Chains A and B, each alone.
Chain A
Amino acid sequence: MNLRLVYLHRNLTRNVRRSLLTCAAVGLPIMIYVLSMSVVHGVDKFLDNSAKQLRIVVTQKTSIVNPLPEGHRKKIEALDESKQRLTSVCGVQWIGGQRENDPTPLSVMAADADSFVSTMPEYELTQDEIDAWQKDRQAIIIGSGPAGQLGWKIGDRVSIVPTLPPYRAMEFHVISTAPKAPDNQSIFFRKDYLNEELKKDGFPEGQVSFFFVKCATKKDLDEFREKIDAAFAGSLDETRSLDEKTFMNEFIAQQFDLPKNLAILSGLTVFVAIMAAMNTMSMNFRDRIAEMATLKSLGFSGGFAFSLIQTESLLLCSLGGLVGAIVPFVVFTYTPARDFQVPLIQTLVVEWVTCMKALGIAVFIGLVAGVWPSWMAMRMHVVRALRNLE
């Protein structure tokens, strides 16, 4: 046993450069894997929250850009008078928006004041915040993302110019920065305030971009998704209802389909690492044919040769994998890079679970890379091998 360890150590250090290059050639792809998967998981987590909330998103049938009348809310609520299955309906009007003299786009939405809190429980507003939202017509909840970027805090008076009517600066009072909300980009304020401002300038009021309908169970969601569309079929304002996850996913897929592309990329990158590690192991084997043959002629078993090469391959790749997994974890957890924002998704969080998975993949790479040389070593015919040298 001891001999094996010594031998292993010698093998790894006898060509330090080669070992280091291999570690790097495995470590870098592992790093890419960790980063890609972190983005993919970020998207998944975002979508999973959407699914968990059991909400239906109701939009206008022909295009999400076309508004629906506010009155649809009453008709949707009427589908379940008991409020046991459709627990809460909240109309939302998207108005985009930006700060004055700052082109950075904000995602600002006006929501029904009375049902926002019950429809979006994942915001976990405190009682004080809920009171402020209900009392103050100009209350606004700024997602933690833009709040951090713009330096907006609770109690601030802020001004936002909507990209849609009324197209002029509106004043708000920040009542929460929603630190618990999984969607940290959205900004919500009260729809009654928007309607009032629209009326002042003579714009049509009472329009809704989409309704969030919170359901009690998954079964209710599936059932009412169809019932809602059926209720408005044939009317002037037909609807298209989707569960929130599908709705969000359509947005993501239309932009670049980052999750799909990154998944393909990380698959290829693991392939690169396997090839690179295999290359090293086959070069090592080639250099050590004579040695292996000598070992076997001295009476060491084929199994010994097999395990020697296999462990070396495993160690090399795990070492590379370890570095490749730890570096992004440290960089995106403890350095300023942790604030890195991916549009639509939010901050990039490198979870240790992803790193452990990556490490597992590194071990797998080591196994695969060592298979061929160690098999050859085990089956090697001593006399033939010694004779073939030079």
Chain B
Amino acid sequence: MALPLSYNWRNLFVRRTTTALTILVIAAVVGVLSWMLGFWTALSGSLSFAQDQHKLIVLRQASTSETNSAIPPEESNKLSQLDREVALDPTSGQPLKSPEMIVQVSLPRMSDGGRTRANVAVRGLTDDGFKVHRNVRIIEGRAFQQGQLEVIVGESISRQFIGLKMGDTLDLGYSGNRGYKIVGVFSAGGAPMESEVWGPLTTLMNAYQRNAYSSVVLRLDDKFNAADVIRKVEGPTIQLTAQTEAQYWDAQAKNVRTYLFIVSGLVGVMCVAAAFSIANTMYSSVAARSREFAMLRTIGFSGRAIMVSIMIEAVFLSVIGGLLGCAGAYIYLQIMGRTKDMFGASTFTTMAFEISMTPMIVVYSLGAVTLVGLLGALTPGIRAAKIRVVEALREA
């Protein structure tokens, strides 16, 4: 028979100081853990929306990103060799190829009132771009018109940078002297493209004195495998390089992933420290209650029931501490701001995202900390279960 839960609950209040201190230890660890999970989720969430396996980004050989790639128009013509593999536009019957150019503009961040700036990508494209980048939708205003000084801005950056509201004028061009009017806001389903400014290819190439595209983005026919097509692009007849959207963005997040890896390692060590702290508390609780346990055994509770009971107490401690920690992280994010932007490893442009305490993160954090609690309570629990009844009753 199991011991009633109220027994465990009340026990937490018997040694108030110890309980409170243990909860604070756990809260601090979970606070960091949930913040880190939040960062991780936001980052990989954004990347997970850029997993289109049939969208191929063609770059100059040896280029690692659109920023440092240049494909002259005559060279992009070689891609017509792929007309069989590229999907056709249902209305015009033309292969879906989008020549694009990337430049950067340095914009003030909203989070610190414009004190610091970040590099935001400006992408020039033709109308075909909207057919190749399928997940892009205009959510406010309208699309830009070719040949005009008009741009549309991604949803994420429009929220995080100053001067990106509908109707604002954005100074672009090599010398920053061409005013582009913001005529719309677009969403890309949360993908990194929401951190870009989009405008007409020809006027932007002109404004930046460019005569080469940065990339050509292809939409593959569903019948073809991306890896095979990439091999063909890199082959002797085309001599360009290509990456799927997923590969491309994965590489950009490489540095940040290393940093998160370092932080995860340190948080892991913190979790171990928390487990030790819980073990310490539970050992002391077990030692002080040996007579109580002996009594429980004599009235018929099994050793196993007592062990489970100790574990439940540890889980109570962990969950209370965990909730407190999540609340702390939530408040921290509310005060310090949830918006983050991250520099791509070789795009040199920023990727904006927002950290939020989603229910999933709370669940994961609590799950992790429950595990830590169980681990910490395991040996004290076993000890409590193995108590020698007669001796313990005789003691003291």
Interface residues of A (CB under 8 A from B): 17-18, 21-22, 24-25, 28-29, 31-32, 35-36, 39, 61-66, 96, 98, 103, 105, 161-165, 167-168, 236-238, 250-251, 253-256, 258, 261-262, 265, 268-269, 271-273, 275-276, 278-280, 282-283, 286-287, 342-344
Contact = CB atoms under 8 A, between A and B. Distances in A.
B36 to A, nearest CB: 9
Shortest 3 CB-CB contacts between residues of A and residues of B = A28-B273, A254-B343, A279-B21
B62 A168 contact: yes
Contacts of A29: 270, 273
Contact of A65 (B25, B70, B348): B348
A31 B269 contact: yes
A36 B174 CA distance: 41
A10 B190 CA distance: 62
Contact of A265 (B63, B266, B276, B341): B266
B103 interface: yes
Given A98-B62, A167-B61, A268-B28, A278 B21 contact: yes
B116 interface: yes
B68 A272 contact: no
A251 B103 CA distance: 18
B195 interface: no
Interface of B: 15, 17-18, 21-22, 24-25, 28-29, 31-32, 60-64, 67-68, 70, 103-106, 116, 118-119, 174-176, 255-256, 258-260, 262-263, 266-267, 269-270, 272-274, 276-277, 279-281, 283-284, 288, 341-343, 345-346, 348, 350
B341 A238 contact: no
A254 B284 CA distance: 47
Contacts of A238: 175-176
Contacts of B22: 275, 279
Contacts, number: 172
B18 A282 contact: yes
A17 to B, nearest CB: 6
A389 B255 CA distance: 59
B175 A283 contact: no
A25 B62 contact: no
Nearest to B118: A254
A211 B257 CA distance: 31
Contacts of A271: 24, 28
A21 B272 contact: no
Contacts of A28: 269-270, 272-273, 276
B175 A18 contact: no
Nearest to B17: A282
9 contacts: A25-B25, A64-B106, A64-B119, A165-B70, A236-B174, A238-B176, A255-B342, A262-B263, A283-B284
